[in-house]
Structure 1
Amino acid sequence: MPYVLLGLAIVFEVTATLSLRASEGLSKFGPSSIVVVGYLVSFLLMAKALTWLNVGPVYAIWSALGTVGAFIGGVLLFDEPIRPLTIVGAVIVVIGVIVMNLGGGVSHS
């Protein structure tokens, strides 16, 4: 259950981030509303997941998947460029999360 909550939190966070880009500086009501609701729901879900999971690895997962999700969303929705160095950076972020989880685990009692 905590991983489902974390996954949903990441989906809402990525959606809010992409909507932030679409809001054009928070000047468009629709995307701006999605930003506010998305971040609020995302933080509520992550807070609930943290009642079962350790904060360090969870935040690493959140950051990595949010970064990769925003990168992919930016490419697909806004035609942002894909550069080899950007892909290398995304891979490094994901590897960092894997290493962090191997070293610290994610659940607490």
Structure 2
Amino acid sequence: MNWLILSIAIIAEVIATSALKASEGFTRLLPSLLVAVGYSISFYCLSLTLKVIPVGVTYAIWSGVGVVLVSLAGWYLYGQALDLASVIGIALIVCGVMVLNLFGKMSVH
């Protein structure tokens, strides 16, 4: 259940971050509301997972998966280019999260 809540936190954060660009500096109402609601849901769910999953693991997964999904959302929604350096950087983030979870002593097994 904690992993489901963490997934909700990640999805809400990706929606909020994607809407942040569309809010145009909080001058557009609907995207601005999505930002506020999305981050509220994300931080609430993130706080729930911290009761069980160590903070380092939780944050690594939340931020790492979030970076990958926000990059893909930027590419899909806003036509932002993902060059080779971006793809390599994203792959390294994913590898880092995997190493932390699979081999780190603070991970939940």
Q: Which residue of 2 aligns with 1:45?
A: 45
* AA of the residue aligned to 2:53: L
Q: Secondary structure at the match of 1:75?
A: helix
Matched, 1:28 2:28: yes
Question: Do 1:57 and 1:104's aligned partners in 2 also have CA atoms closer than 8 Å?
Answer: no
Matched, 1:104 2:98: no
* AA of the residue aligned to 1:90: I
How big is the shift at 1:105? 4.3
Question: Do 1:23 and 1:32's aligned partners in 2 also have CA atoms closer than 8 Å?
Answer: yes
* AA of the residue aligned to 2:69: G
Question: Do 1:19 and 1:31's aligned partners in 2 also have CA atoms closer than 8 Å?
Answer: yes
Q: Percent identity?
A: 38
Q: Higher mean Cα deviation, 52-61 or 97-106? A: 97-106
Cα distance in structure 1, aligned partners of 2:2 and 2:82: 33
How big is the shift at 1:22? 0.7
* AA of the residue aligned to 1:29: L
Superposition CA RMSD, Å? 1.2
* AA of the residue aligned to 2:74: G
What 5-or-longer segments of structure 2 have no aligned partner? none
Question: Do 1:58 and 1:106's aligned partners in 2 also have CA atoms closer than 8 Å?
Answer: no
How big is the shift at 1:106? 3.1
The alignment of Structure 1 onto Structure 2 pairs a total of residues equal to 108
Q: Please list the CA deviations of residues 51-75 of structure 1 after superposition, one character each: whole Å capped at 9, or x if unmatched.
A: 1110001100011100001000000
Cα distance in structure 2, aligned partners of 1:49 and 1:103: 18
Q: Which residue of 2 aligns with 1:55?
A: 55
Cα distance in structure 2, aligned partners of 1:41 and 1:84: 33
* AA of the residue aligned to 2:95: I
Q: Which residue of 2 aligns with 1:84?
A: 84
Cα distance in structure 2, aligned partners of 1:105 and 1:99: 12
